[in-house]
Structure 1
Amino acid sequence: MAEDEMKIGFIGLGGIGKPMAINVARAGFELTVCDLRDEPCQELAGHGASVAASPREVAEASDIVLASLPSNAASEEVALGADGVLAGAKSGDIYIELSTISPSIVHRIAEQAAAKGVTALDAPVSGGIEQRQQGTLSVMVGGDGAALNKAMPVLQAFGEKVFHVGGTGSGATVKIVNNLLAGIGMAAAMEALALGVKAGLTVETLKEVISASSGGSPMFRSMVERVTTLSADPPPGQTANMGLHTIAKDMKLAVELAQSVDAPLAVGTAATQPFVAGLANGWAEKELWAIMELFESAAAVEVRPPELRGD
């Protein structure tokens, strides 16, 4: 099938999914979308997409369906539910799971897809807000190489680097490991800031010196910038771009993966706790750096400027 003849479906138009879907539309593909909320669907309609009422309807109108969803449960329901993608897909179609979910869920979806003649790929993505908007994400694909080659033009609409990392479930696995490292770096950066300020240093000194030294990293610089200049509360009517609920979910997935393969995870398990504590405080919908408040409280120190602490 020629690239310009492929019909594409996209399910899940959240903070990550919506910019990816927009880039697919901008690339010129015939696109059908679906989301629980009407507002992002209408925004995509403004980019030329058709709007479907269910994942099943998306699949019926598409040759390749992509889904960007927030949890294992959502991915299972969208793919396998009575009104899900596989209920409307036909033999020869491709289903691409962009979500960060457990490899075991990926295998379950892939097995049921194969029974219908549908090929499933797990292809989670990585990148910040700018990469989402510019279509320069990293894409980590697990599954059949021939299906990946067929879907490559679609993935390249939002992915600058597309990696084929192995068989089914490999994409999900490498994404979990990647996000584990990111989460450890986030928690470590915030804890280090609390320690440095408690010991008498300024945030400016910490940022300047560490950024130029062996402890520096893009994650450290990003966390310092966000903690000291951006509110953890999303603007009214908007969702978080780096939601606490998302990184907490990913860290817990890493802990579960480690347990399933009998791999010790001492540092990762410890780094998960501040994110879980943030959930316990009711901050799930805030930006992930909301947990800076926990590190400040534990050290009895103030790192953030007063306007970001709500003083």
Structure 2
Amino acid sequence: MDSLITLESFVRSAQSASFSAAARRLGLTPAAVSQNVARLEARLGVRLFQRSTRGLTLTEPGERFLREVSGGLDTLQAAISNVSLAAERPSGVLKVSMAVVFGLGYLLPMMQEFLERYPDIVPDWHFDNRPVDLINEGFDAAIGGGFDLPSGLAARELSRVHVIPVASPSYLARITPPREPADLQHHEGILLRSPQTGRIRSWPLRNRAGEQVAIDMRPRMIVNDPEAVCHGALLGLGIAFVGMMYAVPHLRSGALVRLLPDWYADIGPVSLYYAGHRQLSAKTRVFVDYIVSEFKRQDLARMFDASASLRGRR
């Protein structure tokens, strides 16, 4: 196993061009990864990396060695992981990133049965509203939208992300509710500034007939977090565009009212991201299968579908 971690230190360092990034993924210190690579170079009698303050660059022998060993390393790691899978005892720390409200409202309630089924898995969940770098930040999986999908990563779509205009009953009592999308320009809006781009998000609405309308509301308040947008609407501060996953419990309780029920914005999928199947560990494989199964069992994709009637939602 000492030889395996030495080879893995080399391969992960080559993939990320950084001992520090490889160390985060492997759960080691950067010094330990550097020492593993140095030992490997001493055994082989060749220099695998050119080291500089800007990072690591593979030498010609290093590039050739990487091509020859990376596939075999992935196969060996999968075989080791699958030993525990075959014994029905997947184990280890499972590092997963997800948005705060989505994780707390929908994923965390799924965990009791999952942990009973797989008692040797320890979830290490990071609640964050940003797309993470799975490889360089050492995550086993991530759930969200807007992720790049570089080579070696896979994605399973869980549902579409539909956004709808909503307001509180107290706010609606003070205004004439909009009857068509163009009416929204006369109302005060709680707007979202993208944390990634710094731009204020706009939501072109569409209906079941396929018509699409651009929307421009007067800003009453601007925030950079979708949960804060929803809270502003709950407080009666204005009209807000809120994702269905945030809005559903408040629509059910009556704390929020959906406006223009025939109109919504589709801003893409929410997906479960993880390493490709050749590199997938047992703990990650059972997590992926469980979450996909639970989404289907609970019919969450339909719950988040703004084009469906709210009547009869689970």
| TM-score for the superposition, normalised by structure 2 | 0.28
Structure with max Cα Rg:
2
Q: Which has the higher contact order (CA 8 A, sep 6+)?
A: 2
Comparing both structures, which one devotes a greater share of its residues to helix? Answer: 1
The structure richer in strand per residue is 2
